[in-house]
Amino acid sequence: MYFAIRRLLFQLDPETVHHLTLGLMRIGGIQPLNGLLRKIFAAPSKPVEAFGLTFKNPVGLAAGYDKDGLAVRGLSALGFGHIEIGTVTPRPQPGNPKPRVFRLVEDEAVINRMGFGKNKDTPLEEAASDYIALMQSFTPLADYLAINVSSPNTVGLRRLQGREMLEQLLGAVAHERERIILGRGGHRPILVKLAPDLSDEELEDAVGVILDCGMDGIIATNTTLAREGLRSARREESGGLSGSPLRVRSEAMLEKIVQGVHGKVPIVSVGGIMSPEDAKRRLGIGATLVQVYTGLIYRGPRLVREIVNAL
């Protein structure tokens, strides 16, 4: 049934469809529709322990779909073990000019240049203030926090993955977390999301800093700037590429990170997970949790339950 609906949706502008489906998910948070969705998309319980938390299953929704946390109740009815909202910025900003989302149907991929991370007009040298402000707002509300330093759609943001800048940023984040804990604001695990385009040396530096600064986990990976092997006429659009073409690159990055962390922190794998087989392979490589997004666009919401059933 989803593939019949998909044919209609794919006739529309991708960002229009995104807002349409997000609106439907907001409605899906209201009873009795929420209860009906839970029956339709129920996934079996396959608990996973990570970061001091218990997840009902290892499949999550990747960041970027529900940037403003508008549809959490509806999305939670689709069988996910966790949902990342955001990326959230301290101050409202319009994002990059439209059009900024493109389907590459021949490649089962999406290119987006929505724009997020720190606020676009915050200098890199002051980026820590944005992340700290968000920590102060969301520590009481979230189960864990994700530090995004890897979006390709905010100018200069990926430079924060370099050793010196990452040490400064995560050092400030760690200090703020201790301040919040001492003020009895509670402890929240902090994960760092990395790009798939880092060189081996850059990745080694980033992983080392993440471990040295006491972060609780790594999310691997964000979207890629690479365009090798694409067939779609949209392949030259600027922005981050997600979907099937990211699979190999994201898996290779996961393998390197697993080797680099030596079991010290859990890893969340995301990028190019389009099927239950993809998810099983990531968990087999060493990920503790997986996340999907573009796979939902091409396979539909039943993908979550299919993955959990296959584990």
Asked if 151 is an active-site residue, the reply is: yes
8 Å CB contact between 28 and 292: no
Which residue of the set 76, 151, 269, 275 is catalytic? 151
Q: Which residues contact 161 (CB under 8 A, 6 or more apart)?
A: 149, 150, 194, 195, 198, 202, 206
Active-site annotation, residues: 151
